[in-house]
Structure 1
Amino acid sequence: MNIRLQLFELEDQRWFPHVIRQGMLDFLRFMITKLHAYEAAVPLLQELLTRTNQHHITDLCSGAGGGIETIQQDLSHRMGQTIGVTLTDLYPNLASYQFLKAQTHGTIDFISEPIDATAVPETIAGVRTIFSSFHHFPPTIARQILQDAASNRAPIGIFEGSKKSWLEMLLLWLVFPFIILLVTPFIRPFKLSRLFFTYIIPLIPIGIIWDGTVSLLRIYTPGQLQQMLQTIDAPNYSWRTGRAGDKPGKHIIYLLGYPS
């Protein structure tokens, strides 16, 4: 699937109800964590941390923090030291962030104020990461995110949990509705609103299927990312993009950037 359509996702809309958005993001966090969907990103992140002599990650556009706990644990184990993570977002999901902070005894922390990925404050250090979110941005804003990292000499790793295939689209339409209904009672922290808007008025499942479909159509391929990089002013800064992962459900598209 080489096409890219800049359609709209419901969770991006300011008018979209917060409770439905958070329910959708909580499901995404649960599934990414349980499936270890970003397993193939861990060696790439280790390389990025080692190459730039860093031991802390600042996660941008964190959403509900999907999969970050497993990634942090795997990275710390591989590198033989604790890798800290700070979650940030333009619309911080504070309930999920507080839950993750408690779960990890503060190893995963967060910034409660809104953080714009196109203009990250200079006081925020560490390797920047974006998981499952870069596709939300049209090319003009996506380039601003990359330019901000390069201009500030900040390493960045961008990861999309997808192979971008028509088979993934088919599974989303035919299988995911049943998965949503099956796993929702097990998502933590527990929320009655999540049950209501899944089983009584199914706005969360509808939102997940719609946004999942649009996400697949919006994800940048490695070739499209490479074309975008040609417009970034980044002297003495290196880029690499490609695909990784060879297990079902664990394919990723990635982009790494770091000072040379």
Structure 2
Amino acid sequence: MNFRLQLFELEDQPWFPHIIRQGMLDFLRFMITKLNAYEAALPLLQELLERTQQRHVTDLCSGAGGGIGATQKQLSQRMGTTIGVTLSDLYPNIAAYEYLNRQSEGAIDFIPEPVDATAVPESITSVRTIFSSFHHFPPVVARAILQDAADKRAAIGIFEGAKKSWIELLLLWFAFPVAILVVTPFIRPFNLGRLFYTYIIPLIPLGIIWDGTVSLLRIYTPEQLQQLSKQVTATGYTWRVGRAGAGLGKNVIYLIGYPDPAAA
């Protein structure tokens, strides 16, 4: 797929029920973690941390924190020290963040107040990441996110866990409905509402299939990310885009940016 369609996702809509949105995001977090979908992003994240001499990441647009637990643990192992992660979102999923905080024994914390990725507070100076969320933003907003990072001399890593292919779309339509029904009882933290809206009134599965389809169509290709980065006004700031990983569920489209210390 070399095209992009700016369609709408249900979870983006203010009127969309929180319990359904949360159930969809919890499933996404579970699958990303089990598939270790962002393994290919680890060397890129390590590079950003080493270039900026930092040991902390602030994740923007965290949703339910999909895959961040495994990423934090593996990144810490690679670097031989504990890498801290702070989760944030314009609509924070507090229940999921508290669960990840407990599971990581405090290595993952969160900001309970809304954080706008286009205007990150000056007090946040760590490396920024966006996993599985950049496609939500139309080009004007996407550029604003990049411009904010460049203006504040913050390193940023944007990662989409997909190859953006027709095969992925077919798997979403025909394999995911079965996967949702099988794995839902094992998703934590446990939630009776998630079971009800999966097995009795299947709004969560329907929402996952719709939003998953739209997400694939909305993901920026590396070429489109390159064009976005060229529109950012920044001196002494480097952008790199590309694809990483191989195999089903292991592909990552990425954009990383970092300041040149000499240009500070």
The alignment partner of 2:242 has SS state of: strand
What code does the residue aligned with 1:80 have? G
Deviation string, structure 1 residues 119-160 (Cα, Å, up to 9, x no partner): 000001210000000000000000000000000000000000
Find out whether 1:248 has 2:248 as its counterpart: yes
What code does the residue aligned with 2:119 have? A
Aligned to 2:222: 222
What code does the residue aligned with 1:231 have? Q
What RMSD in Å do the two structures reach over aligned CA positions? 0.5
Deviation string, structure 1 residues 73-99 (Cα, Å, up to 9, x no partner): 111000001000000000000000000
The alignment partner of 2:29 has SS state of: helix
Aligned to 2:46: 46
The alignment partner of 2:238 has SS state of: strand
**Rounded Cα–Cα distance in structure 2 between residues aligned with 1:125 and 1:36:** 27
What code does the residue aligned with 2:70 have? T
**Rounded Cα–Cα distance in structure 1 between residues aligned with 2:199 and 2:29:** 19
Aligned positions of 1:82-97 closer than 5 A:
82-97=82-97
Aligned positions of 1:45-64 closer than 5 A:
45-64=45-64
Displacement, 1:210? 0.1
Deviation string, structure 1 residues 102-134 (Cα, Å, up to 9, x no partner): 111110000000000000000012100000000
What code does the residue aligned with 2:99 have? F
Deviation string, structure 1 residues 164-202 (Cα, Å, up to 9, x no partner): 000000000010000000000000000000000000000
Displacement, 1:52? 1.1
**Rounded Cα–Cα distance in structure 1 between residues aligned with 2:125 and 2:67:** 21
Displacement, 1:230? 1.4
What code does the residue aligned with 1:4 have? R
**Rounded Cα–Cα distance in structure 1 between residues aligned with 2:246 and 2:231:** 31
Aligned to 1:105: 105
Q: Which runs of 5+ in 1 are unaligned?
A: none
**Rounded Cα–Cα distance in structure 2 between residues aligned with 1:29 and 1:174:** 20
**Rounded Cα–Cα distance in structure 2 between residues aligned with 1:179 and 1:104:** 26
**Rounded Cα–Cα distance in structure 2 between residues aligned with 1:202 and 1:56:** 39
Aligned to 1:160: 160
Displacement, 1:259? 0.2
**Rounded Cα–Cα distance in structure 1 between residues aligned with 2:230 and 2:36:** 32
What code does the residue aligned with 1:217 have? L
Find out whether 1:129 has 2:129 as its counterpart: yes
**Rounded Cα–Cα distance in structure 2 between residues aligned with 1:45 and 1:109:** 18
Deviation string, structure 1 residues 7-27 (Cα, Å, up to 9, x no partner): 000000000000000000000
The alignment partner of 1:40 has SS state of: helix
**Rounded Cα–Cα distance in structure 1 between residues aligned with 2:167 and 2:137:** 24
**Rounded Cα–Cα distance in structure 2 between residues aligned with 1:228 and 1:143:** 6
**Rounded Cα–Cα distance in structure 2 between residues aligned with 1:5 and 1:22:** 25
Displacement, 1:47? 0.8
Q: Among the aligned pairs, what percent are the same residue? A: 74
**Rounded Cα–Cα distance in structure 1 between residues aligned with 2:98 and 2:56:** 19
**Rounded Cα–Cα distance in structure 2 between residues aligned with 1:67 and 1:225:** 22
Q: Which runs of 5+ in 2 are unaligned?
A: none
Aligned positions of 1:1-260 closer than 5 A:
1-260=1-260
List, as ranges, runs of 4+ consecutive aligned residues in structure 1 with deviation greater than 2 Å: none
Aligned residues: 260
**Rounded Cα–Cα distance in structure 1 between residues aligned with 2:235 and 2:14:** 36
Displacement, 1:247? 2.2
What code does the residue aligned with 1:167 have? I
**Rounded Cα–Cα distance in structure 2 between residues aligned with 1:226 and 1:116:** 23
The alignment partner of 1:47 has SS state of: helix
Report the TM-score, using the length of structure 2 for normalisation. Answer: 0.98
**Rounded Cα–Cα distance in structure 2 between residues aligned with 1:137 and 1:248:** 26
